[in-house]
Chain A
Amino acid sequence: GEDVEQSLFLSVREGDSSVINCTYTDSSSTYLYWYKQEPGAGLQLLTYIFSNMDMKQDQRLTVLLNKKDKHLSLRIADTQTGDSAIYFCAETPGGFKTIFGAGTRLFVKA
């Protein structure tokens, strides 16, 4: 079946690193995504990783993929108050539709 799981809350201090974890179920997902949603707003694509990669770095963001365990993580370095938002992990079973996790609410304390 299709199910994406992530922890619901994460609280960090400004300047620290944040690590948001996600597990997915469908090994046919070609791409795995991280989206950001600020209050009352739509989704912003943060980054994605192709399934044959182990790691992808994009400025302050690092995505790690463990395909064997179907585990995906997003690390945000030097977390800022503006990073406070909900972060959704998403898989694409069969490369077609996008299935989202429940979202991790990140609180950044000044």
Chain B
Amino acid sequence: GAVVSQHPSRVICKSGTSVKIECRSLDFQATTMFWYRQFPKQSLMLMATSNEGSKATYEQGVEKDKFLINHASLTLSTLTVTSAHPEDSSFYICSAREGRVNTEAFFGQGTRLTVV
């Protein structure tokens, strides 16, 4: 299957700082990318959907000013957690698909964010 690379795999940051997570599709052009958050022992919660060149669509309850998503190219989307707090500590996973509908989504390895 296609490869989606997520970086970094782990990051520790101080409260109040911002951290950027990258999601790259390595061998295909990702028209759509999705960002998920996973709390310990829980499922993946969809945070937002981004289409290349347009603004991200955020799910209800997700603060768009807190979680900035940029999808400037067909192979890269970034999630920036701004002014991070300990409650933002979580596992963040991206996925990417080549088409918009009914195509397989490929997942990155995930990023474990710890805010201290």
Contacts and interface: CB of A to CB of B under 8 A. Distances in A.
A48 B104 CA distance: 9
Interface centre among A45, A92, A98, A102 (most CB of B within 10 A): A98
A42 B46 contact: no
A38 B23 CA distance: 20
B42 A102 contact: yes
A31 B104 CA distance: 9
A15 interface: no
Contacts of B1: 45
A92 B112 CA distance: 25
Contacts of B34: 97-98
B116 to A, nearest CB: 19
Q: In the complex, which range does the number of interface residues on chain A fall in?
A: 20 to 34
Nearest to B93: A42
Nearest to B99: A95
Nearest to B49: A97
Contacts of B42: 102-103
A4 B41 CA distance: 16
Nearest to B100: A96
Interface in A74-106: 88, 92, 94-103
A43 interface: yes
A97 B46 contact: yes
A99 B32 CA distance: 15
A95 B109 contact: no
A97 B100 CA distance: 9
Given A97-B34, A97-B46, A42 B100 contact: no
Nearest to A103: B43
15 contacts: A30-B102, A42-B109, A43-B110, A44-B107, A45-B1, A88-B43, A88-B44, A96-B32, A96-B100, A96-B101, A98-B46, A98-B95, A99-B46, A100-B43, A103-B43
